[in-house]
Structure 1
Amino acid sequence: MSGFLLTLHIIASLILIGGILLQPGAKGGGLGAAFGGGGANSAFGAQGAAPFLAKLTYWVAACFLATSLLIEFNIVRENRSVLEKKTSTQPVQSAPAPQMPAPAQK
């Protein structure tokens, strides 16, 4: 289950990054203008892809938030902590202390 959530989380993050980069900025440019998104003959009409990309961004951001919360809920439910390291199953053996030579007798 956590592998599926993690995969969904990564996919949502990549789509979210791409959707944000394709949206036009304050000056009407953006990465979307490189693909011809500003003309009247574009695939999304005269307004461009801005309304569609804005709605897509909202939904993907909601999915990203939901998967983040579900992943954290699974971590808490399993009593794990991100800060704790997993204990190894093999016992740790320490090296023997070095022996100091005996002081010389006079």
Structure 2
Amino acid sequence: MTDLLFVYNADSGFLNGALDAFHKILSPRTYPCSLCAVTYGNTSMRSEWKDYIQSLPVKTRFLHRDEFLAEFPQLQEYPLPAAFRATGKEWQLFLSKTELDSLDLPRLMETITARLA
């Protein structure tokens, strides 16, 4: 079972990804996904984030907004981006949109590490 679930405030698919990349470049202040903004460069996942995720002692999973809403309709009340932690068969909010909006990459990794401890 997945222990941590990170959800982007962006839809899946090549076209959506390309549009998101342009949005981040042209108007970063209005880009709606702070999780994407800090963990991805213009075209790929930041290496420090990728290494960090691989080093975590829990399983991680990433979903786009459309995938998340289809698989977890019971969690649709939470604003995105967000992260959730599995506790048995239940999911609990792990990082809220407000928290993610205020974190840069180093602080995001520090916060995750502290909350997993």
Normalised TM-score (structure 2) = 0.21
Mark the structure with the bigger radius of gyration: 1
Normalised TM-score (structure 1) = 0.23
Higher relative contact order (CA 8 A, sep 6+): 2
Comparing both structures, which one devotes a greater share of its residues to strand?
2
